[in-house]
Amino acid sequence: MAVKLRLTRMGAKKAPRYRIIAADSRTRRDGRAIDTIGYYDPTTTPETIKLDAEKAIDWMKKGAQPSDTVRNILSKQGVMKKFHDEKNAGKEKK
């Protein structure tokens, strides 16, 4: 099963809010989620992002691939850097 970290749309018409989820890559955009990692609200200024960084890192360690948008959100929050640092620290020990 290929797991993706991606956005699922919530909210009203013309007022989008998104949940950041881990889901099977074959499911629909708003289909069943395995786990909810956080949310993203682009309608506020500045954009509201609430993210559980430890869950995101844990899913990426298990092989989950973030979508382009989620990768940008994780980069802004510093999660991608933390993930790569942990990944490289594990390689240095070997």
User: What is the domain-level CATH number for residue 27?
Assistant: 3.30.1320.10
**Residue 56 · residue 4 · CB < 8 Å:** no
Identify which of 93, 62, 55 has the alpha carbon closest to the alpha carbon of residue 77: 55
The count of structural domains within the chain is: 1
Tens digit of pLDDT at every position of the chain (94 positions): 799 999 999 999 999 999 999 999 999 988 899 999 999 999 999 999 999 999 999 999 999 999 999 999 999 999 999 999 988 887 776 6
Instruction: Give the pLDDT of residue 66.
Output: 96
Instruction: Give the pLDDT of residue 53.
Output: 94
Instruction: Give the pLDDT of residue 27.
Output: 92
Instruction: Tell me which DSSP letter residue 30 carries.
Output: T
Domain range for 33 is 3-93
